[in-house]
Amino acid sequence: MPELADELSLLQENAEEAGLPWRGRPAVERREVVLPDGRSVRALVWGTGPPELVLLHGGAQNAHTWDTVALALDRPLVAIDLPGHGRSDWREDHDYTPPTLAEDLEPVVRALAPDAALLVGMSLGGLTALCLNARAPDLVRRLAVVDVTPGTDRAKAEPIITFVSGPERFESFDELLERTVAHNPTRSESSLRRGVLHNATEDPDGSWRWRWDPQHLSRQTVDVDFGDLWAAVDAVRVPFLLLRGGTSGVVGDDDVAEVRRRVASVRVEVVEGAGHSIQGDRPLELARLLSEFASS
């Protein structure tokens, strides 16, 4: 595993690009929790106090997707690499459905952030957060879900699926970056370069590959019906925030209406100018909304 100093070496660039003051490298450490079957789930633990937030990334991402948000929040928190992603171990059965991920993450959250005020999940992480709330409600005091509902279907997510279902290996870093830039035309190349450095690894022959388990988001496994997960929405009994990207088509008005029908108290916020990955497109606005919600 690369040294933590290497992982954190880009944080100043994150801060400067977002217009955040840089006061030196923040307190961040790598932690791991070993599951009963011996697999490790790894996380970035920010700050020195008891974590106030737990952040779960989307499919084909990793804990570093939250770096700018974490810098803006400036609160103790935990950003977890989901199993099969980042520096967490892969599952032998390649099952990364939200209920299975929630089962894996329950002991992780109990170990690292049992008293967190807010659980945040984006995309796959959002569905996993809903399942974790249903499975272990004592761990969830407030819940924020970023740009996903159980109504999300393949048609809505097709551009994302097309990107992550592409080549498993690339001849060079530049080739990988070029494909990433083409998929994200509204993001700066510097931010995408950081993302690729955190989310890919170089093999001895000089080729590059993504860190996630390639069987997780292959064309053969993405046609999953999440309709059964509406029961997890029904189980929400805590303050609930649903965030939509203003330019994202992943969550439709019909999805929001169904969430409201099941959880009348849900608060819905649209982040203008943001696509599906709100944490990458509008990290400061997302941090503001999460901070306000965590303290409400």
Taking the alpha carbons of 281, 269, 259, 127 in that order, is the dihedral positive or negative? positive
What distance lies between CA 43 and its chain's CA centroid?
12
**Are the C-beta atoms of 125 and 43 separated by less than 8 Å?**
no
Q: Is 42 helix (H, G, I), strand (E, B) or coil?
A: strand
- DSSP letter for 91, please: P
Alpha-helical regions (H) of 51-169: 67-73, 98-112, 124-135, 154-164
H/E stretch holding 268 reads strand 267-271
The residue among 111, 114, 161, 151 whose CA lies nearest residue 130 is 151
Does residue 81 have an active-site annotation?
Answer: no
User: What's the rounded mean pLDDT across residues 53-78?
Assistant: 97
More confident call, 184 vs 100: 100
- The average pLDDT across 116-130 equals 97
- Written as six digits, the tokens of 258 are 């169904």
pLDDT tens for each residue of 258-291: 999 999 999 999 999 999 999 999 999 999 999 9
How far apart are the C-alpha atoms of 289 and 6, rounded to whole Å? 30
For residue 144, what are the CA distances in angstroms to 83, 190, 204, 244, 290?
Answer: 20, 28, 40, 11, 8
Q: Which pLDDT score, from 0 to 100, does residue 191 have?
A: 93
The more confidently predicted of residues 226 and 69 is 69
Give residue 220's pLDDT.
44
Per DSSP, the residues of 236-265 read: --S-EEEEEETT--SS-HHHHHHHHHH-TT
Active-site residue, 89 included? no
Q: Any idea where the domains of the chain sit in the sequence? A: 4-156+227-295
Please give the helix or strand (H or E) that residue 167 lies within, else none. Answer: none
For residue 2, pLDDT beyond 60: no
Chain-centroid distance of CA 7 in Å reads 17
Catalytic one of 147, 213, 255, 281: 147
pLDDT at 4: 64
User: Could you give the CA distance from residue 164 to residue 179 in angstroms, rounded to a whole number?
Assistant: 11
pLDDT at residue 219 in the model: 43
What would the two tokens of residue 253 be? Answer: 């008005």
Q: Are 279 and 61 in contact (CB under 8 A)?
A: no
pLDDT class of 218 with cuts at 50, 70, 90: low
CB atoms within 10 A of CB 42: 20
Higher pLDDT, 183 or 15: 15
Cα distance between residue 166 and residue 181, in whole Å: 14
Point out the least confidently predicted range of 45-54, 90-99, 222-231.
222-231
Q: Which residues on neighbouring strands pair with residue 55, listed in sequence order?
A: 79, 120
Percent of the chain with pLDDT over 70: 94
Which is catalytic among the residues 123, 191, 277, 291? 123
Model pLDDT for residues 144-197, shown as the tens digit of each residue: 999 999 998 667 667 777 777 778 899 999 999 999 999 888 789 999 999 999
Q: Does the pLDDT at position 96 exceed 50?
A: yes
| 152 and 251 Cβ atoms separated by less than 8 Å | yes
- Please, what is the average pLDDT of the chain? 92
Report pLDDT for 138. Answer: 98
4-156+227-295 topology per CATH: Rossmann fold (3.40.50)
Does residue 123 carry a catalytic annotation? yes
Structure tokens at 296: 């409400």
d(Cα 30, Cα 16) in Å, to the nearest integer?
Answer: 23
**Which residue in the list 64, 85, 216, 276 is annotated as catalytic?**
276
Provide the β-strand partners of residue 74.
none
